[in-house]
Structure 1
Amino acid sequence: MKLTRKSNAAPVAGKPALGISRRQFMKHAGIATGGIAAASLMGTGMMRRVEAKEVPHDAPIEVKRTICSACAVGCGLYAEVQNGVWTGQEPAFDHPFNAGGHCAKGAALREHGHGEKRLKYPMKLVDGKWKKLSWEDAINEVGDQMLSIRKESGPDSVYFMGSAKFSNEGCYMYRKLAAMWGTNNVDHSARICHSTTVAGVANTWGYGAQTNSFNDIQNANAIFLIGANPAEAHPVAMQHILIAKERKHAKIIVVDPRFSRTAAHSDLHCAIRPGTDIPFIYGMLWHIFENGWEDKTFIKQRVFEMESIRAEVKKFPPKEVENITGVSEVDVYQAAKLMADNRPGTVIWCMGGTQHHVGNANTRAYCILQLALGNMGVSGGGTNIFRGHDNVQGATDLGLLFDNLPGYYGLTTGAWAHWTHVWDLDMAWVKNRFDQTPYLGKDPMTTPGIPCSRWHDGVLEEKSKLAQKDNIRMAFFWGQSVNTETRQRDVRDALDKMDTVVVVDPFPTMAGVMHRRKNGVYLLPAATQFETEGSVSNSGRSIQWREKVIEPLFESKTDLEIMYRLAQKLGIDEQYTKRIAKENGLLVIEDITREINRGMWTIGMTGQSPERIKLHTQNWGTFSNKTLEAAGGPAKGKPMVYLGHVGARQKRNILVPKFCITNQNT
């Protein structure tokens, strides 16, 4: 019998037809002896011939300047765009922060512009199934729900979870939206990471931020890292540390329970027991005071209450410190001597220092060490606090907080009067947006809201125990989800209990799926920061401008457009944008930057005009990798847009204020 040979060519790609179910595949794959055996079970429907598509390769390549969003170092990036598609990227070799350096996280940025896992259009959960919506319907339904809840329960029953991924302008407008809605129930991820830094450092220097710049670390003679592992978490920042080590022979001391990749570069690694940061620092101070290594002149001229610390430190002699921390007397002494003999020295910390129930006191202790050594107000000194999100410092500066208005103005009547003046609004109108009934004896307008680490308590706690009219019934999770919180059972229960959950994000997040709901969840596709423009502040509070790399993918919209559409639906758009121009129905982002500068007097954020930030971004190659000052070009002789700190460069002749170190254990 003659056999007819059939072609082995796969069919042309068409509609997928797997031929077996996922359950069958997993079952067969599990018992198969190898990948080939498993593949043979798929059938020809899974294997389809690929046909090449003609793509013009001669289209011009447009290069955009943007800033990496992986962490808060603020690395410059050249994004290559061809026919509106983000086709390539290169780290900027002429950028003063990264000088061509890049990390694995930053190398994946282009994936944001391809959209394989992106949320493509507005969706709503209906009877357990996702239904596609138009933007008009989505805004109307979400807005109607907000207005209904406001009428029944008051404005505090809507929670505004914000994001460290917003631009500075996005952070500001989101806080402003919450204010004009009439609530202080607004917050972002700094609450979960560096809020202890903000409290501890602000109680020492006056406000909580990194005192120097990444680049200034190159001028240090000693680098003390505690609870930080930049070799893995901030690889480009590690370059500045290694430059100091190679060029200045800076001594590196790493205090970490683990022998990390950063510790591998250290001159001294001290493996403390977790949670013993303060005894270790006090052990160092014991040696510093015992040997007379403290900077007596600096303390006399600039520091309050160091004698109180000296008395407390006497309770931590070497044997006691070794018993508490697990670090030998010799190593504690050596850490103190290295810092004393190699000034100026800088102290660097990150999450390992803050994520403790005594995190505030930890950060105070780090500051006290620098005060004792006189390492503040000098180049190469300071307390350098590495942030995790690209704009977590900007979000904090711009008041995306439950207890502050932009610029750390607080929530006092005077603070509100200042910002209503900036907004050119009547104070009475803004006040009337808030609930008019005091709860637990407190005025809602001047009472801190609920932090993002406890928003679920606002949903689940008894109404009578809340300083607001009713429980939280609706929440926006805008650029930040819920998987960073520890009490996941309570989070899930809260997601289930609320009337409405609104996720605004480029990607579907945990907030949209970890609940057990069948209805009342909205997913709204926000554009990434590479699909819009605006300013961003790195850990050192250097401000840079991101150019738009590509147009928003699919049906996504920018944060500012979504906020503006919501404001229109809520009937507050006129007040919300009173001093901000519109073009083609969208807000002019430069006007938002100017409004920010109009009001940010407390931290000196008043000269950062959009024109100046853009000029510096377009000429970032002219700025020194060591001093951040322009050697030539249109900004010659000027520093990169930067908010001056107490640890700023000596040549700027900063007058260091007196520092207070009382209430160390509060």
Structure 2
Amino acid sequence: MGPTFGRGAMTNGWIDIKNTDMMLIMGGNPAENHPCGFKWPIEAKLRRNAKMIVVDPRFTRTAATADLFLQIRAGADIAFLGGLINYAIQNNRIAKDYLVNYTNAAFIVKDGFKLPEDGLFSGFDSGGATYDKATWNYEEGGQLGPKNEAATGAGSSGGASSVAGGRTSSETAGEQHKAGQEPAKNFENKSPQVSSKPSTPPDKGQSAAGGVMNSQTGGGHQAAGGVGAAGQGGPKPPPSLPPNVAYDLSLEHERSVFQLLKKQYARYTPEMVERITGIPRDQFLKAADLFTSVRKDGDMKRAATIIYAVGWTQHTFGTQIIRTAAILQLILGNVGRAGGGVNALRGHSNIQGATDMGGVFDIFPGYLKIPAPTDTDLATFLKRTTPTVSKPDAWDSYNYWSNTPKFMVSFLKAMYGDAAKKENDFAYHHLPKIDRKYSWTEMWDYMYQGQVKGLFAFGMNGVMIGPNSRKNIDALKKADWLVVCELYPDETSEFWKAPGITKDEMAKIPTTVYRLPGAGFAEKDGTFVNSARWLQWKYVAVPPPGQAKVDQEILARIFLKVRELYQKEGGKFPDGILNLSWAYTTPENPSLAEVAKEINGRALADLTDDKQPGVTIKAGQQLPGFAWLKDDGTTACGNWLYSGSWTEAGAQMQRRGTEDPSGLGVYPNWAWSWPANRRVMYNRASCDPTGKPW
């Protein structure tokens, strides 16, 4: 979803599913695996007469509640989704005005770009098994006609299908307007005064719906980019966007993204879908007609949602499945709307928060990229990772990731404090530069090969959650040491007791195991970030028992001891440890309230903004939001996405307002959600270009 929409998070949220008119559930069994959340699909069925389509290799309890169940061959999901895309296009069940104004469908791709009819895109180098992506970009030239001639007027196809009484997903005034214009109020059909240009894109803090062809430019973090395989964040910068992208508002130009998409998916006929998926042709057509009926006869009032879980993500091609679902939802105009979206079902309360805070190997908090060895200085790194801004003459820029320098410098100031100065690239050189994958799978494989000598496991039972428990056990046998922080012994902390290991083998295992008693969820405060990106503060119910300690105390004591050893004995590359900012009131057990404030960000000097005359943020004050972040070292912010969560007004995630003026389940004053407390992402797309709900 990141390469398509701009952010890789659930677009809507559990409660919002009650607002849908149509559900497609694949790659998950929420009736059994998410029973509490499944009440919302059931509510949609009972109160809105929403239809549910379930596609699964098994007849599950979720399937038992469906209006239509299709049994699919395992692993054939892309063929089924591709068939839906083709059906929608061939039967004119698409949201054309939405596509023109909120996606890259109208953009013209460079001459010479080739679709993978033979399995390969243009630019493939068979010798090095790599791609030259020179053609994976857009044409320069502004507005064109369908035959590549220059258009003779501004023209407009936007806003032509505004429907009174439609539903908007924007929950706070100002989230569905162009900067500097009067926003639409509340949830009523009131229109702001807008330009007559073909589109009125979202304000600077809200990205447009997305790109219907794969994003390459910007490494997969912007709403629309070059055409081709999704960016992987490699060390080479992607092609720069032309400053004035060529586009065709009719979507008829043969090299428009839409026409290329149409050509690519034309092969996904009902017969092809039947052959690959095993779903009979008549059943597929019934499902395709039902799901795309939300756009029958150009109707834009209704919305459909796609719901999935790890049945998609744990395929080796899971990214491609989700990418296809995202394309389908864009051509139907279902992204950014109440009851729409592509919604991943999280299985645990803080998986979203762990990812937001950089819990995977290739990102920092806020989904900032980790440098590669070729990023020799901050300027080089920012040039590679900051998407270029393109401003076609009818649109303003849709590219909020162009603010990456502000996010990154503020992050470095939060990390290294006074040691991060302009003269030393804001301590950029303290950061790790990775030259290989360090994902969960690779990490265990490196240990299995004897390359990783130690492992910290906090709340993770690595022996049980991987696809190959025996390999992980054998990997732990080769480690010098293992530290497990848990509430009780588990299969990882007692891996040597696994079935089949003899006493003689146990005696030969050299691994030293340290078991640290951690605190349970009720024994510590902090936040949970749920599937809908809501940051909710939780409070301590009881203190940790006995010698058990909270996570931050364990980590802090380890860090302080390591720093002490570096101070006394030196070592390789000490700067990143010695210069780390650790200005907490209680260094050995930092208050999570202090940490949360640090993550939100604060001003390091008095700040003013030309767009908000008369408003000044004083040095030392909490920042009201990420729009105040600077790239000159005058702001510090641990995670730009969470900026606004703990302001001068207090901890927004502690709010418990139960009012819901929209009736859509938004609850805008309950906790706080990123970005900027938006409950449905990309919600400018919930209205037509004049600001009227679809």
Give the alignment's TM-score, normalised by structure 1. 0.60
| C-alpha distance 495-529 of structure 1, shift in aligned 2 (>3 A) | same
Paired position in structure 1 for 2:443? 455
Paired position in structure 1 for 2:673? 642
Q: Does 1:366 align with 2:325?
A: yes
Percent of aligned positions that are identical: 29
Which of the residues 357, 361, 365 maps onto 1:402?
361
Q: 1:629, 1:646 → 2: CA distance?
A: 10
Paired position in structure 1 for 2:584? 580
Paired position in structure 2 for 1:390? 349
Which of the residues 46, 60, 65 maps onto 1:246?
46
> Contact 1:221 / 1:250 at 8 angstroms: preserved in 2?
yes
Q: Does 1:223 align with 2:223?
A: no
Q: Does 1:548 align with 2:540?
A: yes
Q: Does 1:476 align with 2:446?
A: no
Which of the residues 83, 90, 97 maps onto 1:290?
90
Paired position in structure 2 for 1:426? 419
> Contact 2:350 / 2:530 at 8 angstroms: preserved in 1?
yes
1:286 Cα deviation after fit: 2.2
* Count of aligned pairs: 434
Q: Give the counterpart letter for 1:500 in structure 2.
A: W
> Contact 1:593 / 1:610 at 8 angstroms: preserved in 2?
no
1:499 Cα deviation after fit: 1.0
Secondary structure (helix, strand or coil) at the match of 2:456 reads strand
Q: 2:666, 2:101 → 1: CA distance?
A: 30
Paired position in structure 1 for 2:77? 277
1:279 Cα deviation after fit: 0.4
| C-alpha distance 252-570 of structure 1, shift in aligned 2 (>3 A) | same
CA deviations on 1:54-100 (whole Å, 9 max, x unpaired) are xxxxxxxxxxxxxxxxxxxxxxxxxxxxxxxxxxxxxxxxxxxxxxx
| C-alpha distance 454-657 of structure 1, shift in aligned 2 (>3 A) | farther
Q: 2:448, 2:579 → 1: CA distance?
A: 33
Q: 2:286, 2:639 → 1: CA distance?
A: 40
1:506 Cα deviation after fit: 1.4
Secondary structure (helix, strand or coil) at the match of 2:460 reads coil
Which of the residues 240, 251, 272 maps onto 1:320?
272
Q: Give the counterpart letter for 1:208 in structure 2.
A: G
> Contact 2:455 / 2:481 at 8 angstroms: preserved in 1?
yes
Paired position in structure 2 for 1:73? none
Q: Which runs of 5+ in 1 are unaligned?
A: 1-200, 435-443, 463-470, 631-636, 659-666
> What RMSD, in angstroms, separates the aligned Cα atoms of the two structures?
3.1
| C-alpha distance 386-296 of structure 1, shift in aligned 2 (>3 A) | same
Secondary structure (helix, strand or coil) at the match of 1:237 reads coil
| C-alpha distance 519-336 of structure 1, shift in aligned 2 (>3 A) | closer
1:478 Cα deviation after fit: 1.2
Q: Give the counterpart letter for 2:53 in structure 1.
A: I
Q: 2:327, 2:683 → 1: CA distance?
A: 24
Which of the residues 46, 64, 67 maps onto 1:267?
67
Secondary structure (helix, strand or coil) at the match of 2:433 reads helix
> Contact 2:487 / 2:520 at 8 angstroms: preserved in 1?
yes
> Contact 1:253 / 1:267 at 8 angstroms: preserved in 2?
yes
Paired position in structure 2 for 1:502? 483
Q: Does 1:514 align with 2:495?
A: yes
Q: Give the counterpart letter for 1:459 in structure 2.
A: M
Q: 1:293, 1:204 → 2: CA distance?
A: 21
1:649 Cα deviation after fit: 4.8
- The farther-off stretch of 296-305 and 401-410 is 296-305
Q: Does 1:445 align with 2:404?
A: no
Q: Give the counterpart letter for 2:525 in structure 1.
A: E
Q: Which runs of 5+ in 2 are unaligned?
A: 105-256, 295-301, 372-377, 383-404, 497-505, 565-576, 602-635, 690-694
> Contact 1:527 / 1:552 at 8 angstroms: preserved in 2?
yes
Which of the residues 239, 252, 259 maps onto 1:307?
259
| C-alpha distance 657-486 of structure 1, shift in aligned 2 (>3 A) | farther
Q: 2:341, 2:687 → 1: CA distance?
A: 12
Tell which structure's C-alpha radius of gyration is larger.
1
Matches within 5 A, 1:575-614: 575-576=579-580, 578-582=582-586, 586-598=589-601, 604-609=641-646
Q: 1:518, 1:531 → 2: CA distance?
A: 34
Q: Does 1:255 align with 2:255?
A: no
Q: 1:478, 1:329 → 2: CA distance?
A: 49
Paired position in structure 2 for 1:536? 528
> Contact 2:304 / 2:334 at 8 angstroms: preserved in 1?
yes
Q: 2:436, 2:647 → 1: CA distance?
A: 32
Q: Give the counterpart letter for 1:461 in structure 2.
A: Q
1:495 Cα deviation after fit: 0.8
Q: 1:354, 1:475 → 2: CA distance?
A: 25
Q: Does 1:491 align with 2:450?
A: no
Q: 1:651, 1:208 → 2: CA distance?
A: 12
- The farther-off stretch of 317-326 and 607-616 is 607-616
Q: Give the counterpart letter for 1:387 in structure 2.
A: R
Q: Give the counterpart letter for 2:329 in structure 1.
A: Q
1:642 Cα deviation after fit: 1.4
Q: Give the counterpart letter for 1:641 in structure 2.
A: W
Paired position in structure 2 for 1:3? none
1:652 Cα deviation after fit: 6.5
Secondary structure (helix, strand or coil) at the match of 2:354 reads helix
Q: 2:262, 2:270 → 1: CA distance?
A: 15
Q: Give the counterpart letter for 2:472 in structure 1.
A: V
Give the alignment's TM-score, normalised by structure 2. 0.58
Which of the residues 299, 303, 312 maps onto 1:344?
303
1:299 Cα deviation after fit: 1.6
Paired position in structure 2 for 1:17? none
Q: Give the counterpart letter for 1:597 in structure 2.
A: N
Secondary structure (helix, strand or coil) at the match of 1:308 reads helix
1:290 Cα deviation after fit: 1.7
